[in-house]
């Protein structure tokens, strides 16, 4: 049986992720939970679970990423940009443009031939174009995220949601439904609205040959379809899309073990 | 009038410097932080503080003693020097309010009076200060004249119209059409004609006679001042650079607010000598300079120290900035023998009044001259004219020079439009990409 060689923690704004990998980068254990305000305790509890299963994990180096990275006791804190690039490159194995739609941040990262960051762009302070946009509005419509696919599987054409601002879109959606627009069409419209905003960001790097998608929304088929149309190019979902940052952190931890000064 | 004048002169020349010497002595007993990643602080900063405090302290007693004018940073202030105006720069005052984190509270006053939060933070701070009477300087004098030049943005036009309306004083407006390439003859004639009129108005308000030959001295001083400022900036082409552009943002106050005066030039001579000395002795603006960067746009005034320190800790030094450089550029065009023509030329060709091709040229030249490895373009929510086109500029710099670039969303004046965690993580990711 392979042993845990490194641990990566991605303390994001909405979800907390932890992975343990072996020396080849294969994920041996992974957990995803909603982020708890007491990050330190959350990390401690999840680490204890890993160590109970893999005693050698006690000695494994740990790297933290995400907004809470500096609050986790770790060998190093590395930004989510570098970690996402590393995690995504591990799977796709060639230069690409990674689009990561996170809870609070959407990033477009140009990943180079060695998994390094060539350039990146992120949304500004507002929640438009992030996972939060869908979350807020779906909550308002009382549609659980897990059921979105059921509602958008049919052929109902999209109803245009013209606002990309979360606050305005919320009231727009409510009035569209009040006017009798079908829920399925409105949901599709919402995805298109978010996709167009993400495509604007990624559009700065249009000439990239290959596009990868990570983050929770990558699991949502309606979102994948809308993004493919908005970007105008096929999009490849990075395996375990929600864990890409945590995997990158664990890979960074492996590097620190090899004595490589690749982290800070 | 004579008594007031006497009080103004005494406060400006004697009281302010004395007060500062006392506070300086108290401070120096505190010592400097030995663990700071920044280089030793510049000695000139004491003189700078003295100069600027005397300026603001004198201002409290200026009205009624000397004529007072409020002007935009791009206004040809040389026109006012022959008449002994005390000149107040609302933008400089805005920077002071920004650095002291007073913009939100002043802005709220302006917002309640109906001014949009989307306006430039300087305008909101200034209007808020006017409406509430609150200012970190104690008191700003009432102006007799307002001078506005549209070479930096159109916001100032509406801002100064509001000031003129509320204060009931004359406003001289210099309209400088946008320049693509070189300003044509007709453009320069148009601007020169306005300058002539502005000069006459300034004389009338000051109850003095307008004589064009009186412009020779201030223009010569302004030419020399901008050249000296350019020399100070140029010293950063050495490795390590003797100071950081964050220092530059602070030390640029005299070239903005006191251009065309003997005191301004004396100050920059002193600063240049100190910087040259640091170059000779190999003293850097930061302790360990590993990477050199260019900064575009206004500084984030309320974050200067934090940004400078965290970057310095990782070995990054901003060795040049388009913003500080903008005050060294006109030096070459000032000509005391052709006062109005050369002012028209200089003030039409300021950075923000020229096309993106020129911005790219300036940035490319700076990047080459100061041998930078990267550039940070601050996308400033307040300053639209400075921020438009940055995505294209970023791409060109990256492609043409092969340097790393970052766009940083923030606001130069209003911390409410600043997300610390986001800025911190973008900068950290940018620095990580250098390995
Ligand atoms: S908008 Fe820009 S140029 Fe105009 S006053 Fe504000 S900071 Fe200055």
Question: Residue A15: how many CA atoms within 13 Å on its side-chain side?
Answer: 22
Spatial distance between the Cα atoms of B289 and B371, rounded to a whole number of angstroms: 13
DSSP B38: B
Chain B residues in contact with A262 by the CB 8 A cut-off are 435
Which residue owns the Cα nearest ligand 1 atom 2?
A: B383
pLDDT in tens, B164-223: 999 999 999 999 999 999 999 999 999 999 999 999 999 999 999 999 999 999 999 999
B303 lines ligand 1 (CB under 6 A): no
pLDDT band at A237; cut points 50, 70, 90: very high
Helix B304-313 and helix B420-432, axial crossing angle in degrees, nearest 10: 30
B433 touches chain A (CB under 8 A): yes
Q: Which of A66-75, A103-112, A142-151, B384-393 has the lowest mean pLDDT?
A: A142-151
User: What pLDDT sits at residue B302?
Assistant: 93
B435 touches chain A (CB under 8 A): yes
B159 lines ligand 1 (CB under 6 A): no
> What is the arithmetic mean of pLDDT over A237-245?
96
Chain B residues in contact with A264 by the CB 8 A cut-off are 314, 428, 431-432
Pocket perturbation via mutation, ligand 1, pick of B127, B151, B152, B301 by most ligand atoms within 8 A of CB:
B152
What is the Å distance from ligand 1's center to B384 Cα? 8
User: What pLDDT sits at residue B28?
Assistant: 47
User: What pLDDT sits at residue B19?
Assistant: 64
Torsion angles phi and psi, residue B33, rounded to 5: -65, 120
Atom of ligand 1 nearest to the CA of B120: 6
Spatial distance between the Cα atoms of B228 and B234, rounded to a whole number of angstroms: 10
Q: Where are the domains of chain B?
A: 2-23+37-432
Question: Quick check: A119 and B422 CB within 8 A?
Answer: no
Question: Quick check: A121 and B409 CB within 8 A?
Answer: no
Question: Which of B376, B391, B432 would best serve as a mutation to test chain A binding (most A beta carbons within 10 A)?
Answer: B432
DSSP B404: E
A126 touches chain B (CB under 8 A): no
Pocket perturbation via mutation, ligand 1, pick of B148, B323, B382, B412 by most ligand atoms within 8 A of CB:
B382
pLDDT tens for chain B, residues 1 to 435: 677 777 777 777 766 666 666 655 555 443 345 688 999 999 999 999 999 988 888 888 998 899 999 999 999 999 999 999 999 999 999 999 999 999 999 999 999 999 999 999 999 999 999 999 999 988 899 999 999 999 999 999 999 999 999 999 999 999 999 999 999 999 999 999 999 999 999 999 999 999 999 999 999 999 999 999 999 999 999 999 999 999 999 999 999 999 999 999 999 999 999 999 999 999 999 999 999 999 999 999 999 889 999 999 999 999 999 999 999 987 778 999 999 999 999 999 999 999 999 999 999 999 999 999 999 999 999 999 999 999 999 999 999 999 999 999 999 999 998 888 889 989 999 999 997
Question: Quick check: A80 and B429 CB within 8 A?
Answer: yes
Spatial distance between the Cα atoms of A164 and A125, rounded to a whole number of angstroms: 14
Question: Quick check: A124 and B398 CB within 8 A?
Answer: no
Spatial distance between the Cα atoms of A122 and B308, rounded to a whole number of angstroms: 22
Angle at B350 between CA B347 and CA B355, to 5 degrees: 130
Shortest Cα–Cα distance, A37 to chain B (Å)? 16
Of A67, A78, A262, which is closest to B421 when you measure between CB atoms? A67
From A104, which residue of chain B is nearest by alpha-carbon distance? B422
Chain A residues in contact with B428 by the CB 8 A cut-off are 79, 264
> What is the arithmetic mean of pLDDT over A118-124?
84
Nearest to A215 by CA among A150, A129, A141: A129
From B417, which residue of chain A is nearest by alpha-carbon distance? A125
Q: Which residues contact A43 (CB under 8 A, 6 or more apart)?
A: A9, A11, A16, A18, A64, A72, A73
Question: Quick check: A261 and B435 CB within 8 A?
Answer: yes
Shortest Cα–Cα distance, B360 to chain A (Å)? 18
User: What pLDDT sits at residue B23?
Assistant: 58
Helix (H) or strand (E) holding B415: none
B386 lines ligand 1 (CB under 6 A): yes
User: What pLDDT sits at residue A209?
Assistant: 72
Q: Is B153 in contact with B120 (CB distance < 8 Å)?
A: yes
pLDDT in tens, A17-68: 999 999 999 999 999 999 999 999 999 999 999 999 999 999 999 999 998 9
């Amino acid at each position: 049986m392979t042993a845990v060689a490194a641990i990566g923690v991605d303390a994001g704004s909405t979800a907390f992720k932890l992975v343990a990998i072996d020396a080849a980068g294969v994920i041996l254990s992974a957990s995803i939970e909603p982020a708890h305000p007491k990050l330190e305790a959350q990390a401690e509890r999840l680490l204890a679970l890993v160590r109970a299963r893999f005693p050698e994990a006690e000695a494994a180096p740990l790297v933290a990423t995400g907004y809470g990275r500096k609050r986790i006791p770790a060998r190093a804190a590395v930004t989510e940009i570098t970690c996402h690039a590393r995690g995504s490159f591990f799977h796709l194995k060639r230069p690409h443009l990674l689009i990561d739609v996170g809870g609070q941040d959407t990033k477009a990262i140009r990943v180079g031939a060695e998994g390094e960051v060539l350039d990146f762009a992120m949304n500004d302070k507002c929640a438009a174009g992030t996972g939060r946009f869908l979350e807020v509005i779906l909550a308002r419509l009382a549609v659980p995220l897990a059921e979105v696919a059921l509602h958008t599987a049919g052929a109902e054409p999209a109803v245009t949601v013209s606002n990309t601002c979360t606050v305005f879109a919320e009231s727009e959606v409510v009035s569209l439904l009040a006017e009798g627009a079908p829920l399925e069409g409105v949901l599709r419209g919402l995805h298109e609205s978010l996709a167009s905003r993400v495509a604007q960001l990624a559009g700065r790097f249009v000439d990239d040959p290959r596009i990868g998608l990570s983050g929770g929304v990558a699991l949502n088929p309606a979102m994948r379809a809308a993004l493919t149309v908005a970007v105008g190019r096929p999009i490849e979902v990075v395996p375990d899309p929600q864990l890409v940052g945590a995997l990158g952190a664990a890979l960074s931890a492996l590097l620190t073990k090899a004595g490589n000064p690749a982290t800070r | 009038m004579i008594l007031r004048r006497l009080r103004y002169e005494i406060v400006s020349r004697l009281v302010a410097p004395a007060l500062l010497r006392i506070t300086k002595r108290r401070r120096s007993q505190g010592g400097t932080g030995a663990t700071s990643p920044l280089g030793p602080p510049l000695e000139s900063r004491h003189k700078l503080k003295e100069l600027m405090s005397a300026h603001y302290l004198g201002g409290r007693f200026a009205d009624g003693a000397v004529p007072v004018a409020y002007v935009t940073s791009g206004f040809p202030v040389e026109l006012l020097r022959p008449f002994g105006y005390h000149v107040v720069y609302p933008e400089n005052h805005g920077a002071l309010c920004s650095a002291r984190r007073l913009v939100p509270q002043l802005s709220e006053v302006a917002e309640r009076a109906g001014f949009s939060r989307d306006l430039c933070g300087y305008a909101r701070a200034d209007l808020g200060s006017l409406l509430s009477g609150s200012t970190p300087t104690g008191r700003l004098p009432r102006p007799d004249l307002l001078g506005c030049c549209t070479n930096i943005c159109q916001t100032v036009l509406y801002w100064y119209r509001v000031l003129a309306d509320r204060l009931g004083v004359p406003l001289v407006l210099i309209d400088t059409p946008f320049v693509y390439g070189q300003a044509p003859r007709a453009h320069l004639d148009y601007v020169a004609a306005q300058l002539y009129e502005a000069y006459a108005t300034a004389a009338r308000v000051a109850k003095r006679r307008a004589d064009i030959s009186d412009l020779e001295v201030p223009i010569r001083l302004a030419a020399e001042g901008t050249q000296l400022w350019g020399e100070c900036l140029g010293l950063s082409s050495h490795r390590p650079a003797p100071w950081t552009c964050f220092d530059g943002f602070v030390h640029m106050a005299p070239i903005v607010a006191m251009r065309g005066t003997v005191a301004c030039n004396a100050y920059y001579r002193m600063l240049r000598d100190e910087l040259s000395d640091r170059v000779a002795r190999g003293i850097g603006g930061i302790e360990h300079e590993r990477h050199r960067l260019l900064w575009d746009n206004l500084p984030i005034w309320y974050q200067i120290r934090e940004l400078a320190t965290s970057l310095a800790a990782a070995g990054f030094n901003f060795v040049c900035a388009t913003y500080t450089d903008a005050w060294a550029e006109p030096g070459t065009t000032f000509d005391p023998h052709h006062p109005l023509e050369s002012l028209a030329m200089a003030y039409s060709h300021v950075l923000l009044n020229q096309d993106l091709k020129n911005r790219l040229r300036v940035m490319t030249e700076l990047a080459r001259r100061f041998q930078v490895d990267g550039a940070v373009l601050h996308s400033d929510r307040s300053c639209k004219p400075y921020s438009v086109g940055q995505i294209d500029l970023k791409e060109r710099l990256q492609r043409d020079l092969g340097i790393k670039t970052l766009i940083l969303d923030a606001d130069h004046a209003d911390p409410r439009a600043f997300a610390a965690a986001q800025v911190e993580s973008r900068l950290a990711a940018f620095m990580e990409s250098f390995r």
